[in-house]
Structure 1
Amino acid sequence: MPYQGVLFDMDGLLLDSERLVVECFRQATADFNLPDMDDVVFRLIGLRQDAGEVILRKALDGRVDYLTFYEGWYAHIQDRMAQGIPLKDGVKLLLKLLRDQGLPCAVATSTHTAKAREHLEIAGILPYFKTVTGGEQVQHGKPAPDIYLAAAASIGVQASDCAAFEDSDPGTNAAFASGARTVQVPDINAPAPEMHKLGHTIAPDILQGARMIGLITG
């Protein structure tokens, strides 16, 4: 059966933003003299803010107020993103090819919807998406499938009739559990060993992944 829609994660998949987020996290830990926090940010990737908050509060362990740290980190992110948000390789070409095919595209991101739309607009690709579904729109965040089911419904199709692209393990598990044909394009975190047994496609870049599942040719 031909694909009826294409679903995309955002950070680390469409936008080359996760490296920026990591750099800003390190700036924030330096601001608050927290040298032992370097690995924490990698555990937050792909998670909704509420799930990430649990991890971050535990790591801070009362040394710095959570909201104070988060606001400092977010201020660094906003300053950097105001200068522009780069796209991952191949993203613009793939979106143009899918538009030419008439395939509706949707974003399924753990980021809040308004913030996601702002970032996609800054990056110059918001018009390619019929809908944007943010993490606050569903009850359960990734790795639960809710956001992919909701994103598919928002463009009037079933997730099982869609291709889905992700970078993180939690997001990949969410997309796969929704029934979508799932492609993982790893970013700064390599897939965990157990991910290789999931049954999805792991690709070196988004264009190659699209070719591997027959979404595009050539």
Structure 2
Amino acid sequence: MKYNTVIFDLDGTLLNTLEDLQDSVNFALESFNYPTRNYEEIRSFVGNGVKDLVTKAVPKGTDEETTSKCLQIFKEHYKINMQNKTAPYDGIIDLLKQLNSKGVRLGIVSNKFDLAVKDLNKYYFDNLIPVAIGERENVRKKPAPDTVLTAMDELGSYKETSIYVGDSGSDMITAQNAGIKSIGVTWGFRDANSLKESGADFLIDSPSQILDIIEGEF
């Protein structure tokens, strides 16, 4: 086996979370009588944490204090509504079970806030992924390598045998910054070209292809 550790991004990689994110963003925007955002707008805003998402969603020129209040409303709403429409992508659960059966070490690293990452992991992937790390204070978020390196440390893994899986250019750069190989998935929130341009080592169209990559057969 070429890789014994696979670390995943969450949104757009393991879970399609866009509709729940859209609902919570629009709930927060409506609280201030701001215009709501459509699905494609939310899709283009995600990837750098919820603060960045809300900052992009509020009208241009919104002051920092109001944006902060809007973010808080979003977080409170999302915390109790993040499992309404969210679901794993086709083939993900089967993939995780097969990786587990091979003894592959698994982790999640996301720019979503830490509580949500842990709750979503427990709800959708209970017992399949032991390490899940989200955005926390005093820890640099992706594309800084900090959270990926923390996950590897918790899993007892090494750079040479670890690989990072994500759906965005930021994920590919995160892997480079961490000194590990990257897999770009084409079913997520960004297109194949942006993944390629950001230096993806592998591009895949279905979760099962990860099995070939870790065996060195891709």
TM-score, structure 2 as length reference: 0.80
Note the alpha carbon deviations across 1:194-218, whole angstroms, 9 max, x for none. 532414222223223x14524498x
In structure 2, C-alpha distance between the alignment counterparts of 1:97 and 1:192, rounded to whole Å = 26
Q: Is the 8 A contact 2:29 2:58 kept in 1?
A: no
Separation in 1, partners of 2:162, 2:101:
17
Counterparts of 2:184 and 2:138, CA distance in 1: 22
1:28 is matched by which residue type in structure 2? A
Counterpart in the other structure of 1:92: 93
For 1:5-20, what aligned pairs fall within 5 Å after superposition? 5-20=5-20
Q: Rate the CA distance shift 1:186–1:193 in 2: closer, same or farther, 3 A.
A: closer
Q: Residue by residue, what CA displacement relative to the aligned partner does 1:72-130 show, whole Å, maximum 9, x if unpaired?
A: 3234423432547421211110110011001111111222333311111222x131122
Contact 2:37 2:57 (C-alpha < 8 Å) held by counterparts: no
> Cα offset for 1:7?
0.6
For residue 61 of structure 1, report the CA deviation from its aligned partner. 1.7
- Inter-CA distance 10–207: structure 2 relative to 1 (3 Å threshold): same
Runs of 4+ in 1 over 6 A off after TM superposition: none
Question: What pairs up with 1:25-36 in 2 under 5 angstroms?
Answer: 25-35=25-35
The Cα offsets for residues 123-159 of structure 1, whole Å up to 9 and x where unpaired, read as 2x13112222222276321112222122111111123
Partner of 2:46: 45
**1:36-55 deviations in whole A, cap 9, x for unaligned?**
86576445422135555765
Question: Who is 1:65 aligned against?
Answer: 66
Matched residues in 2 for 1:207 and 1:137: separation? 35
Instruction: Give the match for residue 189 of structure 1.
Output: 189
Report if aligned partners of 1:168, 1:186 keep a CA contact under 8 Å in 2.
Answer: no
More strand, by proportion? 2
Kept in 1, the 8 Å contact 2:165–2:182? The answer is yes
The 1:45/1:160 distance shift into structure 2, 3 A limit, reads farther
C-alpha separation between the residues in 2 aligned to 1:204 and 1:192?
9
Q: Contact 1:107/1:132 (CA < 8 Å) preserved in 2?
A: yes
**Relative to structure 1, is the Cα distance of residues 173 and 138 closer, same or farther in structure 2, using a 3 angstrom cutoff?**
farther
What SS does the corresponding residue of 2:179 show, helix, strand or coil? coil
Question: Please, which runs of 5 or more residues in structure 2 have no aligned partner?
Answer: none
CA contact (8 A) 1:19 1:188 kept: no
1:76-155 alignment to 2 at 5 Å? Answer: 76-83=77-84, 85-123=86-124, 125-136=125-136, 139-155=139-155
Matched to 2:206, the amino acid is D
Offset at residue 186 of structure 1 (A): 3.9
The residue correspondences of 1:195-210 to structure 2 (distance < 5 A) are 195-197=195-197, 198-208=199-209, 210=210
CA contact (8 A) 2:54 2:70 kept: no
Matched residue type, 2:99: L
Q: Secondary structure at the match of 1:110?
A: strand
Query: What SS class does the counterpart of residue 109 from structure 1 fall into?
Result: strand
Aligned partner of 1:100: which letter?
A: S
How many residues get paired?
A: 215
Q: For residue 87 of structure 2, what is the amino acid of its counterpart? A: P
Structure 1: distance between partners of 2:31 and 2:207: 36
